[in-house]
Chain A
């Protein structure tokens, strides 16, 4: 997996690294002890006298076996490989060493990954096939856009028009009697700007499922207060923070922000700094230092 996805990456640093100054690289890799010490001189010699490149390469080659021997300190050790490679002929050993190693260092800003080479590629959502998801699929068809698990957590992505029906059937048919949380996420660049999210839990099955739907800015959602009383404040908070309106809510008004507040703070385009500066200007009569 990691090699496939990140193979293109190592190529770039290789071609770039001659132009980029080595000091930066050497400084970046300043992690544990002996290897980085060995690497420092190598980098210097490269920069000053290209003729000594072969010597540098040799020292690299000497360093290499230790890399492969203990992948634990890989991140700090790979750096020299990328540095020396372009300077002269690359030994076969370095080339292979690079393949295995550089994908880690190439991506994050060098000091990042110390060890967890396999982690960055991340787990992928897997399709979630169970009685529940099959039942819902047969009932709502394409209304269920996705049923997956991610890191063992189940979630459904549903069409925004059938949120209420899904929630109702989750509550009444599937016995998800406890609405843990309702929240939203704002993606300003997307056409449907908001993800609205319901975290549900079933005491009967000891199981948690997230229901997610994408809605556009200005779209209204039918309230879930009739299904779970707890939705009252949770929806008020979503309204307060994101400006998503819940139709049929008994008392939809701001909950955390003051009554006359303008704007919805958890939207990504909410200008915190500007608000602060304005407030300081109006109330303190000075320019804000921020």
Chain B
């Protein structure tokens, strides 16, 4: 049960529990019965399971194939990002945040840079803001493509994976041309952007948008009315708005439940107030609605990118921030709408060059908590669908 290589850190109490075999993770009501008497069995899924999207371990309590309850065991990818933040300067910590939600690294960087800028009472110049919006929205599309590809693969549709990764490549190429990196981009700096848009950046973006919308129709052709897809997703993993709010679930999962809430509209940051876009919402809060919402979000992202490229202002791309960043003493909480939900940074400054405390409020971590409520009463196969529809990234859950 416990990582055997690290026994040196086991407290004596834990060692005793391990040796006596009472270190169970799930409190079974069936303690007095033997295994064969029990109606319920406990099945361990993960951490090395292809459909858990990383190292997520879910302990399922089953009655036959029906799920009676779950418990998530997380932390396998814990790297102590918040502790690292306390031991790095503000600028040095910037690349680390890319490693949390590694399929949407640009969004992570945006949230962090904005939080520190707020603490400095600075604001990125308009051109930088537009560049940031373009890249972040591209990143949202890329993140949703990874989600769609893997989610469909989990449910049994193989083709969308190839389509999505093929088209995502175009976005990664733009990232690569812009900043040299494809995944963990470190595209933004505190105070704006460090790289000017390369020659042909606008054309590349427009070209991508033009090509992508028909591709999106292609995805929908494969799935939206596909009978198997509909049967596997409709009515599965329903989360009603009240539960969503009580569980702190945000992002497409919340919107699919019918709550029209998106931080880009509710508390606009960057240049988002300048753009015209809609917030798609669902009706039933099931897996199918979440699929529709994310597909529509990609279309809206294309709209935003087009407007931002069209209106990309001229001017500086870096605000006047000091070379050594020393924010005044204070605390700030700033959050953005990441592809997965509300991504918040709470930073405490003690006036030195290193943050006194960096807290990351990760959307995946909080959303994952809803898994138990969503899968109770469903079948094992649906658990796979629900994990996919939550769109978690374990790098962000564990940090």
Residue ranges of A at the interface with B (Cβ–Cβ < 8 Å): 108-109, 111-116, 119-123, 125, 150-151, 153, 155, 177-181, 183, 185-186, 197, 199, 203, 206, 208, 210, 228-230, 232-234, 237, 241, 254-262, 265-266, 268, 270, 272, 275, 278-279, 282-283
CA distance A150 to B366 in the complex (A): 26
Contact A230 B246 (CB under 8 A): yes
B120 touches A119 (CB 8 A): yes
CB within 8 Å for A203 and B323 given contacts A123-B328, A150-B331, A256-B75: no
**Does any Cβ of A come within 8 Å of B15's Cβ?**
yes
The reply to whether A256 and B398 contact each other, CB–CB distance below 8 Å, is: yes
Can you list 6 residue pairs at the A/B interface with Cβ under 8 Å? A114-B322, A123-B328, A155-B331, A180-B342, A256-B74, A258-B75
The answer to whether B365 touches A259 (Cβ under 8 A) is no
Q: Inside 8 A of B369's CB, which chain A residues have their CB? A: 229-230, 232-233
Contact of B122 with A by CB under 8 A: yes
**Which residue of B75, B324, B327, B356 is within 8 Å of A185 (Cβ)?**
B356
B344 neighbours in A (Cβ, 8 Å)? 180-181, 199
CB-based nearest B residue for A206: B266
- Give the distance to chain B from A75, nearest Cβ to Cβ, in Å: 9
Q: Which residues of A contact B166 (CB under 8 A)?
A: none
Residues of B close to A241: CB separation below 8 A? 82
Tell me the complex Cα distance, A82–B259, Å.
Answer: 60
B173 at the interface (CB under 8 A from A): no
Pair B83/A123 contact, Cβ less than 8 Å = no
Chain B residue contacts of A261, Cβ below 8 A: 9, 11
Determine if B83 and A230 form an interchain contact, defined as CB atoms under 8 angstroms apart: no
Chain B residues in the interface with A (C-beta under 8 A): 1-3, 5-6, 8-11, 13-15, 18, 23, 74-75, 78, 80, 82-83, 86-87, 118-122, 243, 245-249, 259, 261, 266-267, 320-324, 326-333, 335, 342, 344, 346, 348, 356-357, 359, 361, 365-366, 369, 398-399
Which residues from chain B contact A181 at a C-beta distance below 8 Å? 333, 344, 346, 359, 361
Closest chain-B Cβ to A106's Cβ sits at a distance in Å of 14
Name the distance in Å between A180's Cβ and chain B's nearest Cβ.
Answer: 6
Partner of B326, one of A108, A150, A186, A256: A108
Q: Which residue of B lies closest to A275 (CB)?
A: B9
Contact B83 A208 (CB under 8 A): no
Beta-carbon contact of A153 and B333 below 8 Å:
yes
Q: How far is the CB of A273 from chain B (nearest CB, A)?
A: 10
Asked if B3 and A258 make an inter-chain contact with CB atoms under 8 angstroms apart, the answer reads yes
Between B23, B267, B333, B366, the greatest number of chain A beta carbons within 10 A of the residue's beta carbon is seen for B333
Q: Which residues of B contact A265 (CB under 8 A)?
A: 80, 83
Question: Closest residue of chain B to A262, judged by CB?
Answer: B11
B120 to A228, Cβ gap below 8 A? no
B83: which A residues are within 8 A, CB to CB? 265-266, 270, 272
Closest CB in chain B relative to A104 CB, distance in Å:
10
Whether A112 pairs with B324 at a CB distance below 8 angstroms is yes
Q: Which residues on B sit within 8 Å (CB–CB) of A254?
A: 75
Beta-carbon nearest neighbor of B366 in chain A? A230
Give the CA-CA distance A151 to B328 in the complex, in Å. Answer: 11
